[in-house]
Amino acid sequence: MDISIFGLGYVGCVSLACLAQNGHNVIGVDLMPSKVNLINQGKPTIIEKDIDSLIAKNWKNKKISATQDFKEAVLNSNISIICVGTPSNAQGHLNLNAIYETARQIGEAIAEKNSFHIAVIRSTVLPGTNKKVGEIIEKASGKQRNQAFAVVSNPEFLREGSAVKDYYNPPVTVIGTDNNKASKVLAEMYRGIDAPIEETNIEIAELIKYVNNSFHALKVSFANEVGNICKNLGIDSHKLMKLFCMDDQLNLSPYYLKPGFAFGGSCLPKDLTAFKTMAHDFYLESPVLNSIMDSNEHQKKKVLKMVLDRGAKKIGILGLSFKKGTDDLRYSPVVDLAENLLGKGSSLLIYDKNVNISKLTGTNKVYIDKHIPHLSELISDDLDHVVENSEVIVISHNEPEFDCINTRYPDKHFIDLVKIKDGVSAGNYEGICW
């Protein structure tokens, strides 16, 4: 393929070298003559492991070149990859001027082309940028999106120091576009890369890098706070975290990373509080650990507000225990929700077959009688009775019997805390954070 790359900084230089190594003809574009000159001498614009040999080899083989002339680059390529910088201002907002200027240049060049062109946004940008880039190209070219050109969001996952290795071994290749033809071309461009190709909608492709890097930052801070506590306890923090990382069922896994309601139960709140107390006893500042419970409480308040904002008095709750498949009510965030609703004057009905059984058999009776006796009489084993006699129903457990319940009762409003089903879309249904 014939590819142009706008921006010969870190991402652009690595992409230039690796795409050429994979057999493509690549022309780089940059405003700085020094970068253009380096590429045209077979030299990289950055310091990075293996990049110098790749650039030298593919320059010698006439697979790479560079220019300051954007029209020359676009007219001699079918794909233009945007890798220009997106610096932050003092308030944290991105400066996307370089992205938009590049889009204008691509549009001007496309105006002189008859063939279909694909613009690929590789830079890290906010959701909505892809749409804006398409509008700018349409205005500059006088041509319509998805007829004369397409815009693809294709975020990079490169780390400085191992960028070439990361290019060839990404965790996933993300392609976000509204054009099937462009999606197939990009998949072909990345053929041979050791990673699954995940086609998704544009907005997810634009946001994923921010989520990734924020989580990476969180992990660094979390590990540091753990290390600070370990040092005061005389414990080897590196051995501890090595053991921590061996758990790929819970610790390093998709488990727990599903947006929804607050955590609860007998373990997480208790052990988190104990760990925070250790830090406090050593006079250690642990802002990450200290903020976890605050965030959890915020999620509880969010659901309470969602329910109260409906203006209904009759509320049903499907699932009272802290998670499905158990009757454990200790530190259940749903119990907190129920008590707050009662305190606000709501009329409440609760369906939880496991809690109802344990209430009758005595398994959970002591806890219910001591801590929430006022909820005991509100718990029913009749799902239809609870739903039929409620105006707003909160779903807190992902049970098969709740599947499509909103379609069975179109006159009721459902607030889902667990995402009972993908693709639910109805006027009487809303998710807590989806």
Which are the catalytic amino acids? Answer: 267
Q: What are phi and psi of 141, to 5 degrees?
A: -95, -25
User: Cβ distance 175 to 186 under 8 Å?
Assistant: yes
Closest by CA to 330, choosing from 343, 338, 321, is 321
226: left (phi over 0), alpha (psi -120 to 50) or beta: alpha
Give the three-class secondary structure for 434.
Answer: coil
Residue spans of alpha helices (H) in 234-331: 237-245, 268-281, 287-308
Give the three-class secondary structure for 329.
Answer: coil
Cα dist. 84→81, 103, 353 in Å?
A: 9, 11, 57
* Strand 173-177 relative to strand 149-153, pairing: antiparallel
Measured CA to CA, the distance from residue 20 to residue 265 in angstroms comes to 54
Residue type for position 304? L
Q: Which two tokens stand for residue 230?
A: 């370990």
Measured CA to CA, the distance from residue 272 to residue 206 in angstroms comes to 33
List own/partner pairs for 40-46 with CB under 8 A and 24 or more apart: 40/65, 40/66, 44/13, 44/17, 45/8, 45/9, 45/12, 45/13, 46/9, 46/10, 46/13, 46/14
- C-alpha gyration radius of the chain: 28
DSSP state of 145: B
Tokens 């086609």 belong to 199
Cα dist. 304→335, 346, 376, 417 in Å?
A: 12, 11, 20, 12
Helix axes 202-233, 287-308, angle to 10 degrees: 130
Give the three-class secondary structure for 131.
Answer: helix
DSSP state of 430: E
User: Cβ distance 75 to 105 under 8 Å?
Assistant: no
Angle at 288 between CA 282 and CA 290, to 5 degrees: 60
User: Cβ distance 6 to 83 under 8 Å?
Assistant: yes
